[in-house]
């Protein structure tokens, strides 16, 4: 008897609930309304859109077992972000994204956190008690951070493209200008590092000659 009940559970509940980020392997899945509408579920409709706002499909809702909640089955496996609008007043979206993209996202977040730590490092860490050397090392850390920033941009654009998100074209459009802006910033920071370090070294040398240090 227990075995029969176990076998009947999937038939009653149907598909698993869609997650906010759903891998293609978990599709088809179901989306459940957040409240029990007053009319029959079949009188309500759901419209699914792509990331550009194009209507992909419109269908009627079904009832979730003996409850008053309504559901619809989500069956699109192409990686992208899919907003939906239900005539009950519910809205939401399902982001279809492969497991590899989720891993890449975690790696990207980790790299960005490292980048933030690199930029904040010189503000809290004294690399040397020698002012010219400390200035030189802190500016080199900033240059390293800017270099990492170019890598982060490339990773994020690749992630957006693989996930099928609509923002990839915009990112590609501005990538050239953004990365060249970073290159100019690195070049400026390099010369600024040399000038300020030499200036500090001359001041330190003068003070030593005059016996102030």
What residues make up the domain containing 116? 99-209
**Tens-place pLDDT, residues 159-198:** 666 655 555 555 666 777 778 888 899 899 999 999 998 9
Residue 50 lies in a domain: yes
Residue 184 lies in a domain: yes
Higher pLDDT, 151 or 58: 58
Residue 29 lies in a domain: yes
* CB of 63 closer than 8 Å to CB of 41: yes
Instruction: Assess whether 103 and 84 both reside in one domain.
Output: no
Instruction: Assess whether 166 and 202 both reside in one domain.
Output: yes
Domain end call among 81, 96, 111: 96
User: CATH no. for residue 42?
Assistant: 2.60.40.10
Instruction: Assess whether 73 and 105 both reside in one domain.
Output: no
Instruction: Assess whether 191 and 113 both reside in one domain.
Output: yes
pTM, two decimals, is 0.47
**Tens-place pLDDT, residues 32-61:** 998 899 999 999 999 999 988 899 999 999
DSSP string, 83-136: EEEETTS-EEEEEE--HHHHHHHHHHHHHHHHHHHHHHHHHH----SSHHHHHH
- Name the phi and psi angles at 68, rounded to 5: -95, 5
């Amino acid at each position: 008897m227990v075995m029969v009940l176990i076998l009947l559970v999937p038939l009653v509940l149907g598909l698993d609930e869609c997650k906010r980020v759903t891998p293609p392997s978990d599709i088809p899945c179901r989306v459940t309304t957040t409240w029990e509408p007053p009319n029959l579920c079949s009188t309500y409709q759901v419209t699914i859109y792509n990331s550009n706002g194009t209507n992909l499909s419109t269908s009627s809702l079904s009832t979730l077992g003996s409850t008053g909640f309504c559901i619809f089955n989500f069956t699109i496996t192409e990686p992208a972000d899919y907003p939906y609008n239900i005539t009950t007043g519910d809205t939401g979206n399902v982001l279809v994204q492969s497991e590899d993209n989720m891993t890449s996202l975690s790696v990207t977040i980790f790299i960005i956190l490292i980048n933030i730590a690199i930029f904040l490092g010189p503000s809290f860490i004294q690399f040397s008690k020698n002012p010219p050397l400390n200035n030189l090392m802190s500016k080199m850390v900033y240059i390293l951070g800017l270099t990492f920033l170019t890598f982060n941009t490339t990773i994020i654009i690749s992630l957006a493209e693989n996930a099928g998100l609509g923002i990839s074209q915009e990112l590609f459009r501005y990538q050239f200008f953004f990365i060249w802006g970073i290159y100019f910033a690195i070049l400026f920071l390099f010369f600024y590092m040399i000038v300020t370090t030499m200036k500090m070294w001359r001041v330190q040398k003068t003070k030593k000659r005059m016996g102030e240090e």
